[in-house]
């Protein structure tokens, strides 16, 4: 479903949540801008959804609340809550309530059929890059499980299940394994037609109703 307020598809919507198919290149939420007006004017999925739920009424108090993020260059299924307390409940139990699945094309041929990567991740001081470091000093544990889908020339298509949701996690783990995501120049890949990383499935247990919900978009 599309709206005049949105340049992307709504996958699902009810009174509690709205699920979208975020396009590559669109920020999830505002960057570190000074001033509320500047932040609210920035083209982000969050701001566009706020305009959508307000139906053009600038004084409306309706809004959406961020519960997780996708990198700007990553496309795919993403969920927002329509209530602050629900958003808090989802964030607090994110790892327990949700399962996220991605499809990625990575450079090089991976001969193994499946595997897992674990490390402790930490952002650089400027927040631009993330890397694996030793345990401690603010590093966060990350586990990435994957299975090979196909070999395509010199690249490999993989399905990835995130067991933790750290910034740039998939990109860092595959780059450090010698197989950066196709198009991920930031982490050492050759330039391509965009970042070949897409969130294709989000499975979610509603913290209030207990209902299990599954949202999928084409890969």
Can you give the residue ranges of every domain in the chain?
9-92, 98-199
Strands (E), the chain: 9-13, 17-22, 65-66, 75-81, 98-107, 114-123, 130-133, 140-152, 155-162, 197-205, 212-216
Locate 149 and state its tokens. Answer: 């889908």
- What is the predicted pLDDT for the residue at 2? 58
Higher-confidence residue of 206 and 60: namely 206
| Contact predicate 145/160, CB 8 Å | yes
The domain 9-92: what is its CATH number?
Answer: 3.30.2350.10
Enter the pTM of the model: 0.89
Mapping DSSP to helix (H, G, I), strand (E, B) and coil, where does residue 35 land? coil
Q: Measure the CA–CA gap between 90 and 103, rounded to whole angstroms.
A: 24
Could you tell me which CATH number the domain at 98-199 has?
A: 3.30.2350.10
- The residues near 138 (Cβ < 8 Å, ≥ 6 apart) are 122
Active-site amino acid positions: 71
pLDDT at 217 over 80: yes
Q: Do domains 9-92 and 98-199 have the same CATH topology?
A: yes
Confidence of residue 148 (pLDDT cuts 50, 70, 90): very high
Q: Is the pLDDT of residue 35 over 80?
A: no
């Amino acid at each position: 479903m599309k709206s005049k307020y949105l340049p992307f598809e709504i996958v699902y919507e009810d009174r509690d949540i709205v699920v979208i198919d975020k396009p590559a290149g669109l920020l999830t939420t505002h960057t570190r801008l000074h001033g509320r007006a500047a932040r609210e004017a920035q083209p982000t999925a969050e701001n566009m959804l706020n305009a959508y739920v307000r139906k053009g009424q600038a004084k409306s108090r309706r809004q959406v609340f961020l519960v997780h993020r996708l990198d700007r260059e990553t496309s795919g299924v993403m969920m927002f809550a329509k209530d602050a307390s629900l958003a808090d409940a989802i964030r607090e139990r994110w790892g327990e309530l949700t399962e996220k699945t991605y499809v990625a094309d990575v450079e090089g041929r991976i001969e193994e059929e499946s595997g897992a990567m674990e490390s402790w991740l930490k952002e650089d001081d400027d927040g631009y890059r993330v890397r694996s470091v030793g345990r401690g000093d603010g590093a966060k544990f990350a586990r990435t499980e994957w299975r090979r889908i196909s070999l395509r020339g010199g690249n490999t298509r993989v399905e990835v299940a995130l067991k933790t949701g750290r910034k740039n996690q998939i990109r860092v783990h595959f780059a450090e394994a010698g197989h950066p995501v196709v198009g991920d120049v930031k982490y050492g890949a050759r330039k391509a037609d965009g970042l070949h990383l897409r969130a294709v499935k989000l499975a979610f247990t509603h913290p209030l109703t207990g209902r299990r919900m599954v949202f999928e978009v084409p890969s």
